[in-house]
């Protein structure tokens, strides 16, 4: 495994070591690091601006020929949840996919194929305008799907039921 590429080019990094995610990171500490062949798992405590407190994350990286080919992030942000509870907050996340629009839509546009791209999803089915995803922990996520357009390669989703303390969650794939 080429540790430099896995570790984003830092010469002093260990294989799979968690690295700062840009200027927002105030500090981080790797608590545990496990490597088993091409699977790297680390438990990391992060302090990031503008978030209060510590965010603890488990990163699971799948590595092939020294390159990260898939990653999962599981986090606990109790300090953040307490800080955000008094006021309604808005989170906007944009992800760019290095694939043609046709290739990306072939994956995202198949609403029942969610387990193929969303970690932790065991199965998915569509009942009318509702997508129901069974999760690995036994919970279910129910999403209202609207504005589905194969020609426009877009749809909107709104969570109806999620196993999280979230009042409202929605988004658009486009």
Domain 3-84 has CATH 3.50.50.60: no
Domain ranges of the chain: 3-84, 101-173
Question: Model confidence over 29-85: pLDDT tens digits?
Answer: 888 888 888 888 888 787 876 666 777 777 787 888 877 777 777 776 666 566 655
Residue 10 confidence class, pLDDT cut points 50, 70, 90? very low
Query: CB atoms < 10 A from the CB of 6, how many?
Result: 22
Q: What's the whole-model pTM score?
A: 0.49
Contact (Cβ atoms closer than 8 angstroms) between residue 142 and residue 160 = yes
At which residue do the structure tokens 């065991």 appear?
Answer: 122
The model's confidence at residue 3, banded by pLDDT at 50, 70 and 90, is very low
Nearest to 68 by CA among 60, 76, 80: 60
Tokens of 51: 């978030």
At a CB cut-off of 8 Å and minimum separation 6, what does 79 contact? Answer: 51, 52, 53, 54, 55
Domain 101-173: state its class. alpha beta
Mean pLDDT score of the chain: 75
* 154 exposure class (CB count in 10 Å sphere: 0-12, 13-18, 19+): middle
- pLDDT 10s digits, 139-148: 899 999 999 9
């Amino acid at each position: 495994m080429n540790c430099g590429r896995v570790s984003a080019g830092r010469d002093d990094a260990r294989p799979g070591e968690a690295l700062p995610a840009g200027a927002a990171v105030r500090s981080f500490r790797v608590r545990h690091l496990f490597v088993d062949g091409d699977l790297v798992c680390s438990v990391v405590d992060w302090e990031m601006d503008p978030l209060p407190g510590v965010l603890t994350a488990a990163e699971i990286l799948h590595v092939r020929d020294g390159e990260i080919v898939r990653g999962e992030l599981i986090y606990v942000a109790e300090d953040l949840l307490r800080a955000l509870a008094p006021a309604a907050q808005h989170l906007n996340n944009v992800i760019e996919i290095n694939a043609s629009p046709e290739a990306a839509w072939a994956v995202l546009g198949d609403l029942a194929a969610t387990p193929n791209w969303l970690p932790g999803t065991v199965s998915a089915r569509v009942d009318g305008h509702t997508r129901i995803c069974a999760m690995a922990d036994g919970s279910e996520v129910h999403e209202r799907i609207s504005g589905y357009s194969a020609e426009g390669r877009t749809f909107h989703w709104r969570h109806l039921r999620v196993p999280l303390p979230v009042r409202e969650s929605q988004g658009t794939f486009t």
